[in-house]
Structures are given as structure tokens and as C-alpha cells.
Amino acid sequence: MDVEALVKAITAEVLKQVSGKGETSPVLIIGEKACKKCQAAEKKLGKGHRFLYPDEDPSAGETMRRIVPYLSIRHMADMAAGKAEGPLMEMVLAALLAGQPVEVMEYEYKRYADTAPEGLMRLFEGQEAALASFGLTAMDMTKRETVRVRKPLVTDADVDEANQKGARELLLPEDAQVTPLAVESAREFGITITRT
């Protein structure tokens, strides 16, 4: 192991995080900032993201993830028919028309899965499938046992992100450098670091 290279990489990462210039991936949350579901979306996605809202005038050309925290039955039916009611749903439809995928954290109809008649649930599932064909899909909320990181320097933030996904193993490239704090975090969370 090249200790000097490791020290340089750690120093660069610490300076980047301290200066606030760390890489953050932009996420447009299509909702109102004060909305509890939007705040829950921020919490679910965690660190490493720059959260934007429609009223903050996100850059049109910027590549970003677009998330709808909650899709009501009424809005789902409208969108499945190619209609949008209100400025937020118009933003979703505009993104889909531009070929930009949009993720949904929660569909309202799924709350009624245990009580709604079978025919009604099939109708809603059909609408969800239609929306998926347009590019409006359910956000992947599954926990993963193994998370692969393809970075030359793995930090405690990477370990924290893997932990939030429910990972028990972190797969790294053979030549990846791991900060001591990342090793300590992995030990605390019970995550095994494996090089491949």
C-alpha cells in the first residue's frame, strides 16, 4: 500500500468536505419544501445530495434525479391519461415529455391494498404500469445486502450511505483506498469491506 498516496487522497477528501465543495448529486423534489413528505424524501435519500425544489428555479440543462414524494390516486389517474392538473404535475408531465425519468416514493393507492376490491386494485396497478411506460416509476426503496462502490477513495460517507441502504457488505475495487474513519464506521455498522 502506498502510504503517501493514501495520505494525499485522504487530505484531498477532507479539504473537499470541509470547504463544502464535495460532489453532491442534485435531486429535484417535485413538491413544496414545507411538505412533510418532501422532508421525508430528503431524509430517505440522505447525505451526498443537493436538494432542489420547483420554486428554486433548477437549471434546465442540469442532469438531476427527479422525485415525486407522493402521487395521489387522482393525480395518478390524470397522468395515466396524459393529463396534468396543477403546476407540480405539469412539471412532472413536462419532464416525461422531455424524456427525463421521474421517480415516485409513494403511491396513495397502495395504502388500500388490504381493503380495496380486487378490480379497483387492478385498475390502479394498470395505471401504475402505464405511468412506468412513460418513465414515471416507483423509487427503488429496497434494502440491499451488498453495495458496490467504484471510487478510488472510500470515505465514511460512502459507508454511511451503504448502511442507509441496509448493506452488510461493501464491494470495492482492489486498488481502492479506504479512509481509517470509513473502516471504523464499517465496523460500527457491522459492514464487511470486500475488495474484488
Cβ-contact 100, 135 below 8 angstroms: yes
Find the helix packing angle between 180-189 and 156-164, rounded to 10°.
20
Is pLDDT of 51 > 70? yes
- Residue 66 and residue 53: Cα distance in Å, rounded? 10
Q: What is the 3-state secondary structure (H, E, C) of the chain?
A: CCHHHHHHHHHHHHHHHHHCCCCCEEEEECCCCCCHHHHHHHHHHCCCEEEECHHHCCCCCCCCEEEECCECHHHHHHHHCCCCCCHHHHHHHHHHHCCCCEEECCEHHHHHCCCCCHHHHHHHHHHHHHHHHHCEEECCCCCCCEEECCCCEECHHHHHHHHHCCCCEEEECCCCEECHHHHHHHHHHCCEEEEC
Is pLDDT of 61 > 80? no
Q: pLDDT tens-digit profile of 135-165?
A: 999 887 555 678 888 888 999 888 888 887 7
pLDDT band at 192 (very low <50, low <70, confident <90, very high): very high
Q: Residue 127: its pLDDT value, please? A: 96
Is pLDDT of 22 > 60? no
Q: pLDDT tens-digit profile of 95-125?
A: 999 999 999 999 999 999 889 899 999 999 9
C-alpha cell at 39: 422532508
- Residue 44 and residue 57: Cα distance in Å, rounded? 23
pLDDT band at 42 (very low <50, low <70, confident <90, very high): confident
Q: Residue 23: its pLDDT value, please? A: 52
pLDDT band at 91 (very low <50, low <70, confident <90, very high): very high
Which has the closest alpha carbon to 13: 191, 182, 193?
182
Which has the closest alpha carbon to 30: 6, 5, 64?
64
Query: What percentage of the chain reaches a pLDDT higher than 90?
Result: 44
C-alpha cell at 137: 416509476
- Residue 67 and residue 76: Cα distance in Å, rounded? 14
